[in-house]
Amino acid sequence: MHVTLSVWQALLIAIWVALIESRILGFATLTMRFSPLMTGMMVGFIMGDIKQAMIVTAAIQLVYMGFVAPGGALPAEPSIGAAIAVPVAILGHMSPQGAIAIAVPVALLGSYLYQFRFFLNTFALKSMDRFAAAGNARGLGFSIMVIPACISFALFIPLIFIALYFGAPVISSVVSNIGHGTIIHVLNSVGGGLAALGIAIIMQVIGKKTLLPFFFLAYFMSVAFAKLDINMTIYAVFGAIFAIIYVMLTQRNTDKG
């Protein structure tokens, strides 16, 4: 069976990416952009396979735990990576780990695209300055919101559409023809190990070495209790309790001192 995306599916995914990457939905787009989850969910809805889309996206998410954008430039665009890798994985029946190996390079390219947007937005500045000098609030608002949004849509929709409509079926058929040899083993191992990246970044971002024992405590708790299959919410409750105890103890010490 020849698998492919329909024009409408490719176009809808492209529009979704443009909505996020233009940031037109406000600060709510932060977690849509930093995390592949919402994009993976939309791809699942559009392609009619939510379950597989979420499983693949969850694996991609682990690579991007802890990504923050100091100054606004992220070193990768996970949502763009997911927009391409999740359809490829669904079409080619790939393992979630294999999908990671596709998402990572695409997300890296996406970050250049996002920065190109900063450059293109410069063209809107002239009209902002003109409306500001004239004291024209309506014109100013228009040039701050509408012009940059249109620029982003013109940039992202065609590119993502082309990559999906022409690129995704090709990549997925190549991948599914490789079979189960060494290449698949490499893709899966890379995907499995890359999950460590996001976690190491968060440890660095939180930045307090004195708090690191809590990381190791949790790591060995989850290894030791793996067979008990403890729910993540329970672990979150443990984490919150440890946090409260820690703060109470340190606050008391500073009060005394």
Partner 1 sequence: MSETADIQATNDEAVQEDTPKRIPQPDKITNKDLMKSWFGWWWANEVPHTFDRMLAPSFCFGLIPSLKKLYKDHDELAKAFQRHLLFFNTQATWGGGTLTGVTISLEEARAKAMANGEEAISEDMINNTKVGLMGPLAGIGDSIDSGTVQYIFIAIFLPFAQKGNFLGALLPFLCFSIATFIYGYYLTKMGYTLGRNAAKEIMTGGRMAGIIDGLGVMGLYMMGILAGQYITVKSYLKFDINQKTFDVQKILDTIMPGMLPLLTVVLLYLYFQKQGLKITRGLLYLTGALIVLSIFYII
52 binds partner 1 (CB under 8 A): yes
118 binds partner 1 (CB under 8 A): yes
254 binds partner 1 (CB under 8 A): yes
211 binds partner 1 (CB under 8 A): yes
140 binds partner 1 (CB under 8 A): yes
User: What are the distances in angstroms from CA 94 to CA 124, 180, 184, 217?
Assistant: 43, 11, 9, 34
Region binding partner 1 by CB under 8 A among candidate stretches 8-16, 35-43, 156-164, 166-174? 35-43
Are 25 and 153 spatial neighbours (Cβ–Cβ below 8 Å)? Answer: no
35 binds partner 1 (CB under 8 A): yes
Q: Please tell me what DSSP assigns to residue 36.
A: S
Percent helix, strand, coil in the chain, to 5, is: 85, 0, 15
Give residues 169-208 in contact with partner 1 (rule: CB under 8 A).
Answer: 182, 185-186, 189-190, 192-197, 199-208
Closest CA relative to residue 21, chosen from 35, 13, 32: 32
256 binds partner 1 (CB under 8 A): no
7 binds partner 1 (CB under 8 A): no
Give residues 57-86 in contact with partner 1 (rule: CB under 8 A).
Answer: 57-58, 61-62, 65-72, 75-76
Q: Of the two residues 45 and 166, which places its CB atom closer to partner 1 in the complex?
A: 45
Are 175 and 41 spatial neighbours (Cβ–Cβ below 8 Å)? Answer: no
10 C-beta neighbours (distance < 10 Å), count: 22
